[in-house]
Amino acid sequence: MAERSGWSRREFLERVGVAGGAAAVYETMVALGMLRTPPAYAGAPRPQRLGGGKSVLVLGAGVAGLTAAFELLKAEYQVELLEAADRIGGRSFTVRRNDVVEQIGLPDQTCRFDAGLYFNAGPGRIPYHHQALIGYCRDLGVELEVYVMEDRAALFQTDQAFAAKPVRDRQLANDTRGYVAELLAKAIDKRALDDELGPAERRDLLQLLAVFGDVDPDEHYKYGGSSRSGYRVPPAVVEPGEIEPPLALPALLESRFWDHRFYQPEDYEWQATMFQPVGGMDRVVRAFERRIGAERITRGVEAVRVDNSDGGVQVTFERRGKGRARETKKADWCISTIPLPLLRKAIDNETFAPDFKGAVAAARFEAAAKVGWQAEERFLADARARGAKVVVLDIPLLPETASDQRVDAVVVVSAPSDVQRQRVLGRAGMTPDKLDALLARQMADSEKRRHADFVVDTSRGFDAARAQVQEILRAVATMPKRRG
């Protein structure tokens, strides 16, 4: 029997993916009966009374460490968690106003979001197939809500296509599908896929393409636009509306929109439906903490050495802000959930086998970043639409960054240095060293007052401060604008 020439099914699917992305591959695999579904989650292990009072030290109070402690306590072990940071949660870090983000080799950042806003700096969504975490949320009473990953009304802009004008996500997605359907239909019509697809498969694929790309078989599958891409004139009760004309295929290709993670929502880890805890991912962390008991978690202690033996484990650690004096704790067992590059230093001794140490040392940190910000433009536009006379912006490091050029007046809130230190050191997680580092990056208070149009002295109490603010607002409302 002669070998077939041309594309294999794998090659065919690869070409479909290049042309139409993951969505096109998904639909094609459905039509060809090749789609796999995720396996079912069997549930958390049933607690068994195995501990018998034996002790376990858990290194790291991130989600992994908290989960381990939660299950060990149910199995009647004695558990203590050691966390190097002043907070728990590890990479699951929800940042709110006045939270300090510590950075290695860079200055710390203090969050200045408006009250009530937050940013999930670590994980930010729970895919539907993360049944273990969803199960824990159910058991711990953590309320979930739907997380919307994809916005078909979002705008995409590039100087390389579309005359540098923004276009809607739905236009990119559906016009591309239309053209892919048209081109594949032409290939089938020209018998280019006869070696790979039998008559029934070609018929089924053409029927798929008609739906996939919203193309009409009676029009030879030619793509001429689709209501999926939106309307230039919206439909009404009587009028059918006018659909957006399709983006040109050459312009779609020139834009290279797929290089900008356009199809990420189609990836397995990002597919709908996804969830998030109401109020931030740290709701999961706090729920674990309540069940475990805050008294079992020691913050601000960094494990610097772990010694292993047949009789148990000894962990040597240093307390932050305590002169780095070393202390030790012993336990029957130790579970480490800290990053492997940090664990590598702690186990660099003769009590661990060389192959184990080598495996730990092989892991490396990957460079990663996640950015969150609060935009002002919509806030300012809404204020203008309401006819607001004065808009107040809270801008960190305003004089240091020359941000005073963005506003019509500068108000500085001031207090004597001893009062300021007392207030700031009263914040959770703040230390004298952190405060000194923050002050070192800021302009001196006397210099800030010199740059200000108005100064609010807060040392005399809230009532006096409110009176000063009211007087300032009346004055600013009548000031001439000085912004360009």
Tokens of 181: 């359907």
C-alpha of 450 from chain center: 40
Q: Quick one: DSSP state of residue 451?
A: H
| CATH number, domain 9-36+154-269, options 3.40.50.2000, 3.40.50.20, 1.20.1440.240, 2.60.40.10 | 1.20.1440.240
Contact (Cβ atoms closer than 8 angstroms) between residue 415 and residue 459: yes
pTM for the whole thing? 0.68
pLDDT for residue 316 is more than 70: yes
Tokens of 266: 């189609």
Contact (Cβ atoms closer than 8 angstroms) between residue 382 and residue 100: no
Q: How does the average pLDDT of the chain come out, rounded?
A: 87
More confident position, 382 or 178: 178
Q: Is 378 strand, coil or helix?
A: helix
Contact (Cβ atoms closer than 8 angstroms) between residue 70 and residue 291: yes
CATH superfamily of 55-146+277-361: FAD/NAD(P)-binding domain (3.50.50.60)
Mode of pairing for the β-strands spanning 78-82 and 55-59: parallel
Span 66-111, pLDDT tens digits: 999 999 999 999 999 999 999 999 999 999 999 988 877 778 889 9
Whole-angstrom Cα Rg for the chain: 30
Report which of 73, 100, 95, 94 is spatially closest to residue 290, judged by C-alpha positions: 73
Q: Which CATH architecture has domain 377-477?
A: 3-Layer(aba) Sandwich (3.40)
Neighbours of 226 (CB within 10 A): 19
pLDDT of residue 1: 43
Tokens of 117: 């806003």
Q: Is 352 strand, coil or helix?
A: coil
If you average pLDDT over residues 302-314, what whole number do you get? 94
Span 130-180, pLDDT tens digits: 999 999 999 999 999 999 989 999 999 999 999 999 999 999 999 999 999
**Cβ-based neighbours of 457, under 8 Å, separated by 6 or more:** 414, 415, 464, 465, 468
Span 200-246, pLDDT tens digits: 999 999 999 999 999 999 999 999 999 999 999 988 888 888 999 99
Helical spans, DSSP H, in 228-386: 249-255, 282-292, 340-346, 354-361, 377-386
pLDDT for residue 349 is more than 80: yes
Domain ranges of the chain: 9-36+154-269, 55-146+277-361, 377-477
